[in-house]
Structure 1
Amino acid sequence: MTNGFMDAHTYYVRGGVFANVQTGNVIFFAIDMSERKVAAALAHVWPILAFMVGVAVAAHIKSGRTERWVSHPLRWAMAVQVVALVVIGFVPVTVAHQYVTVPIAFLAALQMGLFRNIGDLAYLPVATTGNLMRFVESAFDGLAERSAAARHACGVYGTLIVGFTGGALIGAFASRAWSAHAIWLAAGLLAVTLVLFIVDERYVR
C-alpha cells in the first residue's frame, strides 16, 4: 500500500516522477530526451541512481555484515523509512523535487531489497506487473491442476495487487487534498507495519 501510495504522491505532487517504479522513469527519461528536454530528463535519472544505491545497501544488510554493529537491522531499516517520510512531509512543494524523490527512491529500493517474499512466494513490493503475472499463472494452475498451493498463491498475489492499487488510489486522493503532507499517511502505514513486524518476530520465537 505504501509503495502504491508514494508513486501516486510523487507523480502528482513532486514533478511527475515515480519514486518506486523505475520503469516509468526510464520511459519518461527517453521521451524527454527525444524531445531534447535535458533538464526534465535528468529529473528522472536521479531517482534511478538512488534506487540502485538503495538496492546495494539492502544487499549489504541481507548479507549479515551489519549485524556486527546493529542488532535487528530490518527493524531499523523500517524505522528509518518512517522517520524519513515524516520529515519529507514537511518539505514544501516549492523546493526542488529531487530533494524528495531521490530519498524516496532510495527507501523504496531498500524496501524491495529486504522484503521480497511472503513465505515461499516471491513478489515485488514496488510494482504490479510481476505480481499480476504470478496471480494469473497461479489462478490457472489452481483451476486446471486443482492445486491447493496454487489457489493459496493466487489469493496472496491478488491481495498484493489490491493493496498496491488501493494505496495508489488513497495516495491520489490524499495528495490532492493535503499536497506534501499527504505522505504522512504512508509513514503511518509503515509505522503500523513495523509494530506488526516486531510482534510477529516475538510470536515466532
Structure 2
Amino acid sequence: MSESAPLIALLCISGGFMDAYTYNCRDKVFSNAQTGNMVLMGQNFATLNFSAGFRYLIPVLAFAAGIFCSELLRKKYQNYERLHWRQIVVLLEALLLFFVGFLPQSYNMPAVVLASFVCAMQVQAFRKLNGYTYATTMCIGNLRIATDLLSNYAVHRDKKLLKKSLIYYGFILIFIIGAALGGVITLRFHEKAIWCSSVILLITFVIMFAEGE
C-alpha cells in the first residue's frame, strides 16, 4: 500500500501544500525545495547578509535531520507488527504539522524547521511508486525520470514506457495542484492552513491499514 497510486497522490498533494505554506506564510522559505534554499543561502552569505543566510541554512539542516530520524525509525520499527514503520512516520508528520499551526508569525523559524523535518521524513520513507523511484515532496527527479521514459518510448515504441512516463507526469501535476491549494488556502487561513496537510496525512495513515488486503 505504501507504493500505491492513491497513497502517493495524497502525499504529493501534502508535499506541494507544505512548500506553498512555508513560502507564503513563513518568511518565504521552502520546506521541500532545499535546492532553492541553498541558492538563496549562498546568495545572502555572498552579500554578507548573514541573518538571511542562516534563515535558509537552518531548514536545510532540519531536512538532513529528518532523513536521519526517518532511517532510525525504519531500523527500529521495521519488524513492528501492530503498525508499519511508515505509518509511524506519517502519524508523527501529522502531529508535528498540527503543532506548527499553533505557532504565530514570531515563531516562523521553528515552524519552518518542523515543516522541513517533516518533509524530509516523508521523502525518505516513501520513495517508490509501484517499484519505481519517486519523490512526493519535490519534482526535479520525477521530471527527469518521466522525460527519460518518454524519450525511450520515442525510440522503442513500448507502450509500457509511455504509460509509466504519463504516470510520473500525472503525479507532478498532482503536486502542483497541492501547491496551488496550499497557496490559496494559506492566504485565507494563514498559520492554521497547515492543518490541511495534517488531515491528509491522517487519511494516509488510515489507508495504510488496508495493506493486508
Using structure 1 for the length normalisation, give the TM-score.
0.91
CA offsets per residue over residues 153-179 of structure 1, 9 Å max, x none?
A: 112201220111011111111111111
Distance 1:143 1:103 in 2: 43
Q: 1:137 to 1:68 in 2, by over 3 A?
A: closer
Distance 1:56 1:68 in 2: 19
Using structure 2 for the length normalisation, give the TM-score.
0.88
Is residue 97–residue 114 contact of structure 2 (8 Å, CA) maintained in 1? no
Is residue 70–residue 89 contact of structure 2 (8 Å, CA) maintained in 1? no
Matched, 1:102 2:113: yes
Q: Which moved more, 1:151-160 or 1:47-56?
A: 151-160
Q: 1:202 to 1:69 in 2, by over 3 A?
A: closer
Distance 1:126 1:105 in 2: 10
Matched, 1:80 2:92: yes
Corresponding residue number in structure 2 for 1:161? 172
Q: 1:173 to 1:49 in 2, by over 3 A?
A: same
**What is the Cα deviation at residue 71 of structure 1?**
4.6
Q: 1:70 to 1:21 in 2, by over 3 A?
A: farther
Q: 1:101 to 1:39 in 2, by over 3 A?
A: same
Corresponding residue number in structure 2 for 1:132? 143
Is residue 121–residue 153 contact of structure 1 (8 Å, CA) maintained in 2? no
Q: CA RMSD in A?
A: 1.6
Corresponding residue number in structure 2 for 1:92? 104
Distance 1:16 1:49 in 2: 17
**Identity level (%):** 25
Counterpart of 2:39 (choices 27, 34, 37) is 27
Is residue 13–residue 180 contact of structure 1 (8 Å, CA) maintained in 2? yes
Paired residue secondary structure (2:178): helix
**What is the Cα deviation at residue 66 of structure 1?**
3.1
Is residue 5–residue 168 contact of structure 1 (8 Å, CA) maintained in 2? yes
Is residue 44–residue 52 contact of structure 2 (8 Å, CA) maintained in 1? yes
Matched, 1:183 2:194: yes
Q: What is the number of equivalent residue pairs in this alignment?
A: 200
Q: Which runs of 5+ in 1 are unaligned?
A: none
Distance 1:164 1:8 in 2: 11
Distance 2:64 2:144 in 1: 24
**What is the Cα deviation at residue 143 of structure 1?**
3.4
